[in-house]
Amino acid sequence: MNELNRQVAAPSVLSNRWFQLIIGLLCMALVANLQYAWTLFVTPMNSRHHWGVASIQFAFSIFILTETWLVPIEGWLVDKFGPRPVVAAGAVCAGLAWVMNSYATTLPELYISSVIAGVGAGCVYGTCVGNALKLFPDRRGLAAGLTAAGFGAGAAVTVIPIANMITRSGYEQTFLFFGIVQGICIFVLALLLKKPQPGTIVAKKRKFAVTKIDYTPGQMIKTPVFWVIYAAFVAVAAGGLMATAQIGPIAKDWGLARIPMNLFGVTLPLLTATVSIDNICNGFTRPLCGLVSDKIGRENTMFLIFVGEGLALLGMMQYGTNPYAFMTFAALIFLFWGEIFSIFPAICADTFGSRYAAANAGTLYTAKGTASLIVPIASLLSASGGWSAVFVAAAVITIAAGIASKFVIAPMRARWIAQTDEPAALNATATPAASAAGASRLTHWPEQTGE
């Protein structure tokens, strides 16, 4: 009888949505090194092959664009086949890419491995965020925030071992070892993922607009409200990237980079201490702001955070030449900026439903890639108007996005959901696929009722 009880209890633990969220978070943490640990390999690779830093960093640009722009396709695969095969494929790609890096002797080989790495990272990222949105229709902001935070946590844990191994054994051996270990670990975790089953739950009553219909990506991109949300994502992502990507050069130009600062009893150069604090803020803000948005609404949170981001940028411009002010405003910039990776997936699922959340959120996530194409403007602005021009431009578009969130997106989204959720409007405008999707509006997972 005890053995039978254990057999019955085991599946319930595996199916628990919090357990599934933790599995997704671990997968994100393991794949994060493809992005965040890359910088550790650049100098050793250049010393060995003399390819030039710019040529090596081009591989990173290929990785980012591949990881970003293929997420909609990977999300569609998740919605169709479930998370397990997509994350498993991502594990193979992630491991294979770093193994290829360990043997690469030419730049084309490095670029090919970057494409494979981008596919792997996108498979894991898009799946885990999309799954979190499906698992927690009642706490989308928190779930997406925790999952996105895992993408930075993995690098925080492994960056020192990777750096030490590069010094001790060389970058090739480090690529090989961590590529195999990370690939195997993600693959094993992928086997524990389960596809959410259609059903109904007792969802908490919301004070803000949440759709009752599930829209496919094709239907979503035909709606004006999607493109307004997309434009806001691009604006905030570009504004933040324009400033955050230049923190190092700004600190050097202002003569602050090497000033010794005491951080928790350890003396570090100001730039090193600032980057460490910024990364903590960047990770912490994702679940925090996601949770806040679950309580007070997405657009209200976006208004407060985006305007706060703009004011922090202006504060850095005005007072940043002071070492302590520089560290403070840099931390605030990252704190207000990192939450876009939790709030935008959440508002996407609120607006277009849970069933196709992975593909829909992946489509919206391409805004990050679009924003990255705008970032080089910062270099042009700094050349003509100094760093003040960069901060003013970033602050203006970020504050504008915050105001638009409150006074344009909020009423537009509420009005659109109210109109399309009415049966008459649905029958008149939606396709049969959307009507069928509306029948399975929410996802049932154990322990989702009575919370």
Question: How far is 27 from 86, CA to CA, in rounded Å?
Answer: 12
Question: How far is 144 from 203, CA to CA, in rounded Å?
Answer: 17
Confidence of residue 87 (pLDDT cuts 50, 70, 90): very high
In 3D space, the residue among 125, 174, 11 whose CA is nearest the CA of residue 361 turns out to be 125
β-pairing, 442-444 with 197-199?
Answer: antiparallel
CB atoms within 10 A of CB 384: 8
Residue with the larger pLDDT of the pair 138 and 316: 316
- The tens digit of pLDDT for each residue in 106-135 reads 999 999 999 999 999 999 998 999 889 888
Q: How many domains does the chain have?
A: 2
pLDDT score of 163: 81
Of the three residues 197, 228, 250, the one that is the final residue of a domain is 197
Residue in the block written with tokens 């030490």? 164
Of the listed ranges 51-60, 270-279, 291-300, 314-323, the least confidently predicted one is: 270-279
* Residues 331 and 359 both lie in one domain: yes
* Structural domain for 297, as ranges: 205-420
Residue in the block written with tokens 């970033």? 394
In-domain check, residue 366: yes
* Residues 237 and 362 both lie in one domain: yes
- Torsion, Cα of 355, 302, 21, 68 (10° steps): 70
Contact (Cβ atoms closer than 8 angstroms) between residue 359 and residue 123: no
Contact (Cβ atoms closer than 8 angstroms) between residue 324 and residue 96: no
Average predicted confidence (pLDDT) for the chain: 84
Q: What is the CATH number of the domain that holds 228?
A: 1.20.1250.20
Contact (Cβ atoms closer than 8 angstroms) between residue 388 and residue 376: no
* Residues 147 and 225 both lie in one domain: no
* Residues 22 and 101 both lie in one domain: yes
Residue with the larger pLDDT of the pair 340 and 446: 340
Q: Provide the b/e sequence for 322-334 (b: ≥16 CB within 10 Å).
A: ebeebbbbbbbbb
In-domain check, residue 434: no
Residues 6+ apart with CB under 8 A from 28: 124, 125, 128, 147, 148, 150, 151, 153, 154
In-domain check, residue 239: yes
In-domain check, residue 449: no
Mean pLDDT in residue range 390-414: 93
In-domain check, residue 427: no
* Residues 278 and 148 both lie in one domain: no
- The tens digit of pLDDT for each residue in 203-259 reads 555 667 888 899 999 999 999 999 999 999 999 988 877 776 677 778 888 988 888
Question: How far is 236 from 313, CA to CA, in rounded Å?
Answer: 12
Of the three residues 147, 174, 197, the one that is the final residue of a domain is 197
* Residues 192 and 231 both lie in one domain: no
Confidence of residue 201 (pLDDT cuts 50, 70, 90): very low
Contact (Cβ atoms closer than 8 angstroms) between residue 425 and residue 419: yes
In 3D space, the residue among 340, 387, 385 whose CA is nearest the CA of residue 365 turns out to be 340
Of the three residues 197, 216, 238, the one that is the final residue of a domain is 197
In-domain check, residue 235: yes
Q: Is residue 300 pLDDT above 90, yes or no? A: yes
* Residues 182 and 222 both lie in one domain: no
In-domain check, residue 319: yes
* Residues 410 and 280 both lie in one domain: yes
Contact (Cβ atoms closer than 8 angstroms) between residue 367 and residue 140: no
In-domain check, residue 95: yes
* Residues 189 and 211 both lie in one domain: no
* Residues 283 and 137 both lie in one domain: no
* Residues 114 and 4 both lie in one domain: yes
* Residues 193 and 212 both lie in one domain: no
Question: How far is 97 from 114, CA to CA, in rounded Å?
Answer: 7
